[in-house]
Amino acid sequence: MLSFKSEIKFNSRRSPVVGTEGMVATSQPLAVAAGLEILRQGGNAADAAVATAAALNVTEPTSTGIGGDCFALYYEASSGKIAALNGSGRAPATLNLEKVKADGIEGELPLFHAHTITVPGAAAGWCDLIEKHGSLEMSQMLAPAIKLAEEGFPVAPVTAYFWGRGVDRQLSIGLNGQELTLDGRAPKAGEIFSNPGLARTFKVLAEGGKQAFYEGEIAEAIASLVQASGGVMTEEDLAAHTNIWETPISTSYQGMRLWECPPNGQGLAALLALNIIEGVDLSGMAPLSVERLHLEIEAMRLAFADTRWFVADPESNPAPLEELLSKEYAKERGKLLDPSKATVDQQRGAPMASSDTVYLTVVDGEGNACSFINSNYMGFGTGMVPKGWGFTMQNRGHGFSLDPDHPNALAPNKRPYHTIIPAMITHDDTGELFASFGVMGGFMQPQGHMQVALALSQDGLDPQAALDMPRFCITDGSAGGNVALEEGIPVETMATLSQMGHKVVPTSGQERAVFGRGQVILRDRESGVLWGGSDPRADGLAMSL
């Protein structure tokens, strides 16, 4: 087998991909091929999205899996309407703060503990998306992924790197984690890896629908795994799972409208930051200038100060979304921006009520679009594998707070603060699709959404150029966190931002993973031409029919 020693430099150039009959963009070429195969069979954006997501489960288990959650935005071209799918699961019915404390856990849940496993919503999410918007049978959508899992696939370079990190961390300690290794080690770049257990899972789902995942052999294996690892999830918890179709939230910006899923996802942060930055004239500021980067970082600090408090399960702790997203509230928050220095101790506002992850995007030939994200949370999640089924269980419950007074406090049957968020942009005058996009990567996601949205709408960049642009990341998603600055931002700019009070962390090489990995498909409303871009920080690409 060939073995290359060249370090990934992130210095190549790509043109945007253009086409008219449909397009898929994601972080694995083989997953793109799966989505295109479904489009060629006459499937629409929903069908191709599920096929792509399933293939990503096979080819990039370092980031995603059917043992995790998903969220989606779906744009229906015939009506111009956008629907939001919340495919996130809940904590077990008997898991509460008292149980956690009795188990000797304080402060926060350990990263890979069984108590961080919430009911996985992805399987139901795929089925719900197809039931509402799809046109083909689930067996057709899962066929490409089943083939990849059974016959094996060559592991891509970036994926191989993070697979190795996963083996060193959770796969080495998680029950049955060795099922996703080659005799205890990670596959190398270009090495063939097959996953017959995951193929078996997909066949069960294809034949029996979501009920076959949440009841029966798979549910029994999940409950047995969690309980053997110290958790309390039961088969009844799994059987009770349901997803929700919701009304998305949005805000306008210079003739465009950015759409996000509502809480318990953190898309609210991107909208808050964009609202705040709208009060600043950016027209005379270069995208990577000190002045603009400083203001964007400060707007995100204010947004995180709000969302780390207000984003929680809306069934138990609804956020005052109308007030938070009002332009009046943004104007008041914007008064806290200091153009000369960093403010790392921003506090949440008080709106008054008046009464690691994969992302993919698909636009089909009819103009329907699906912005879709599916995640295990931290790489392989807990690293725990239901014996014989070929997927790891997520550790999404780590997002809960153990502070009983916090809106996001752990409680039975509650959904945690969620980092994964898909996005869309429409023309504000007509509601027509402008772009379907997303940037995966923990707390980077709303920051990436704001930066890419500004690159597309404010700066007029094509999708590939917008994704190539060096980024910043407030690394822990808090108002006062360190700011990672990507190689490509001038050193002089980094130094000045540091002098202004930002805790700057210059970042390069594989550590660029902190800046997320995005995908964009933009639609020209006059010609119908699709323009696609794929993040250079990943293994993927955009391709058109």
Residues 6+ apart with CB under 8 A from 341: 500, 501
**Structure-token pair, residue 345:** 């101790």
What's the mean pLDDT in 248-262? 96
Reported as a single tens digit per residue, the pLDDT across 308-324 is 899 999 999 999 999 99
CA distances from 379 to 142, 259, 315, 438 (A): 23, 26, 28, 18
Say whether 357 is catalytic: yes
Given 26, 64, 118, 357, the catalytic residue: 357
User: What is the Cα gyration radius of the chain?
Assistant: 22
What's the mean pLDDT in 38-44? 98
Rounded Cα distance, 135 and 314, in Å? 31
- Residue showing tokens 């697979």: 163
Q: What is the pLDDT of residue 442?
A: 81
Phi first, then psi: give them for residue 151, nearest 5 degrees: -85, -20
Residues 6+ apart with CB under 8 A from 135: 42, 43, 44, 46, 47
First to last CA, the chain: 32
Residue predicted with more confidence, 356 or 94: 94
**Structure-token pair, residue 365:** 């030939």
Reported as a single tens digit per residue, the pLDDT across 380-408 is 999 999 999 999 999 999 999 999 999 99
Q: What is the pLDDT of residue 376?
A: 92
What's the mean pLDDT in 23-30? 97
Q: Are residues 367 and 156 in contact, defined by beta-carbon separation less than 8 angstroms? A: no
Reported as a single tens digit per residue, the pLDDT across 112-139 is 999 999 999 999 999 999 999 999 999 9
Q: What is the pLDDT of residue 218?
A: 98
Q: What is the pLDDT of residue 39?
A: 98
Q: What is the pLDDT of residue 355?
A: 36
Q: What is the pLDDT of residue 441?
A: 82
Residue 351: which of 275, 449, 429 has the closest Cα? Answer: 275
Q: What is the pLDDT of residue 5?
A: 52
- Residue showing tokens 């703060």: 97
pLDDT band (50, 70, 90) for residue 354: very low
Rounded Cα distance, 203 and 410, in Å? 34
Instruction: Check pLDDT > 60 for residue 352.
Output: no
pLDDT band (50, 70, 90) for residue 8: low
Q: What is the pLDDT of residue 353?
A: 40
Q: What is the pLDDT of residue 356?
A: 65
Residues 6+ apart with CB under 8 A from 311: 263, 264, 265, 266, 268, 269, 319, 408, 417, 418
Reported as a single tens digit per residue, the pLDDT across 153-197 is 999 999 999 999 999 999 999 999 999 999 999 999 999 999 999
Whole-number average pLDDT of the chain = 93
Q: What is the pLDDT of residue 134?
A: 97
**Structure-token pair, residue 9:** 């430099």
**SS3 label, residue 26:** strand
The pTM (predicted TM-score) of the whole model is: 0.94
Instruction: Check pLDDT > 80 for residue 479.
Output: no
Q: Are residues 145 and 47 in contact, defined by beta-carbon separation less than 8 angstroms? A: no
Reported as a single tens digit per residue, the pLDDT across 502-513 is 999 999 988 888
**Structure-token pair, residue 533:** 């871009």
Q: What is the pLDDT of residue 2?
A: 56
Q: Are residues 66 and 360 in contact, defined by beta-carbon separation less than 8 angstroms? A: no
Residue 333: which of 319, 351, 359, 317 has the closest Cα? Answer: 351
Residue 440: which of 180, 56, 127 has the closest Cα? Answer: 56
